[in-house]
Amino acid sequence: MKTVTVHASVQYDVLIEKGSLARCGALCANVFEPSKATAAVIADDNVAALYLEPVVQSLKQAGFSVCTFVFPHGEDSKSHEVLLHIYDFLIQNNITRSDFLVALGGGVTGDLVGFAAATYLRGIRFVQIPTTFLAAIDSSVGGKTAVNIPAGKNLIGAFHQPSLVVCDPDTFSTLTPEIFADGCAEMIKYAMIWSEEFLQLLESCDIQERLEEIVAYCVDIKRQVVEQDEHDTGIRMILNYGHTLGHAIEKVTNHAVSHGQGVAMGMVLITRLGMKLGRCDAALLHRLCSVLERYHLPFHYDGALSELAESCLHDKKRSGSTIRLILVSTAGKADILPMDTAELETILKGELPC
Ligand code: GLY
């Protein structure tokens, strides 16, 4: 088993091992007292059909009382309506602060259950059991939790660190190739912003053979960033490399482009923008495109860049008339460049080098 220990406001372990989902009860028993805690396991209907039973059995076997809540899959469930149903479920099951929640699933579940945990009884502990590659290497670690409101995604949220993360890479085998590739975009992001050595590994190895190591590599990079800036006021912003333009692409395509595909194209566009500003060279762009291609991710956005400008101007990462761009100057090194939104608009309305 690989263990990454995150030293944030709460210290917790991220345990990574194939087969660990069916042993989650014993792993939770190292953190919570089974005779004193009920585990409230929450999953969407797709994930519940696959993994709820083994998780419940394992928790019961370890001596925990268990209750379960299942909600419809999809981003629409990351809403205050479903959140209120979760609060009702917790109240009906007499869940108190000595108990804990279990977020079993992908990013939607982790964010939603994490936010329920952050707010129910002013904060209750929770465990993340990510079942997608993307959730395993990104959203399950670092304590960002949120729900969506009509005005925008993740606009209501809280920082609330999990008490434990149990990642079983065997769960990735039930993902479609497209959903797995979404995680690959974040994996490549980590290499680009933090580690040339990791980029070399991704350029040469068969990641399917080394999933535990790859997840641990990504989580350890996220750990280093989050430990320096838990509340996202400084260096943590580099985790948004490719995301501002990526989100804009997702939005203007009405989500026909997935999150990972958007981030992939966003990383390419911001690299081209960096070239225009003289901050990186064509060799970096070529290297990025090659590695994206290796992981079946798109690197060419054929829509109008001017369309993206408007969406970027509404990005919540904007502060006043300044937007913080995340640029990679050389593989493994990211910088935060504050830019006036009007300047960004002008650049996006012009030509970018390719
Ligand atoms: N997903 C970016 C962050 O956790 O800051």
Q: What pLDDT digit, counting tens, does each position of 215-229 carry? A: 999 999 999 999 999
Of 105, 111, 190, 189, which is closest to residue 153 (Cα–Cα)? Answer: 111
Give the up-direction half-sphere exposure of residue 201: CA atoms within 13 A in the CB hemisphere.
20
Of 54, 62, 305, 19, which is closest to residue 172 (Cα–Cα)? Answer: 19
Q: Which residues contact 34 (CB under 8 A, 6 or more apart)?
A: 25, 62, 63, 64
- Ligand 1 neighbourhood includes 138 CB (under 6 angstroms): yes
For residues 24 and 354, give the distance between their C-alpha atoms in angstroms, rounded to a whole number: 48
Q: Which residues contact 244 (CB under 8 A, 6 or more apart)?
A: 266, 270, 312, 315, 317, 323, 325, 326
The conformational region for residue 316 under phi > 0 = left, psi -120 to 50 = alpha, else beta, is: alpha
pLDDT for residue 353: 84
With bands split at pLDDT 50, 70 and 90, how would you rate the model's confidence at 315? low
Structure pTM? 0.96
Average pLDDT, the chain: 95
The conformational region for residue 105 under phi > 0 = left, psi -120 to 50 = alpha, else beta, is: left
Ligand 1 atom closest to the Cα of residue 138 is 1
Confidence check: pLDDT of 316 > 80: no
Of 91, 46, 52, which is closest to residue 73 (Cα–Cα)? Answer: 46
The conformational region for residue 244 under phi > 0 = left, psi -120 to 50 = alpha, else beta, is: alpha
Q: Comparing 142-151, 256-265, 316-325, which segment has the lowest mean pLDDT?
A: 316-325
Q: Which CATH number fits domain 177-348: 1.20.1090.10, 2.70.170.10, 3.40.30.10, 1.10.1420.10?
A: 1.20.1090.10
2-174: CATH topology is Rossmann fold (3.40.50)
Angle at 219 between CA 49 and CA 158, to 5 degrees: 75
For residues 142 and 219, give the distance between their C-alpha atoms in angstroms, rounded to a whole number: 9
With bands split at pLDDT 50, 70 and 90, how would you rate the model's confidence at 174? very high
Q: What pLDDT digit, counting tens, does each position of 73-107 carry? A: 999 999 999 999 999 999 999 999 999 999 999 99
pLDDT for residue 350: 81
Q: Which residue has its alpha carbon closest to ligand 1 atom 2?
A: 239
Q: Which of 189, 233, 240, 316 to mutate to test the pocket of ligand 1 (most atoms within 8 A of CB)?
A: 240
Confidence check: pLDDT of 340 > 80: yes
Domain boundaries, the chain: 2-174, 177-348
Q: Which residue has its alpha carbon closest to ligand 1 atom 3?
A: 239
- Ligand 1 neighbourhood includes 239 CB (under 6 angstroms): yes
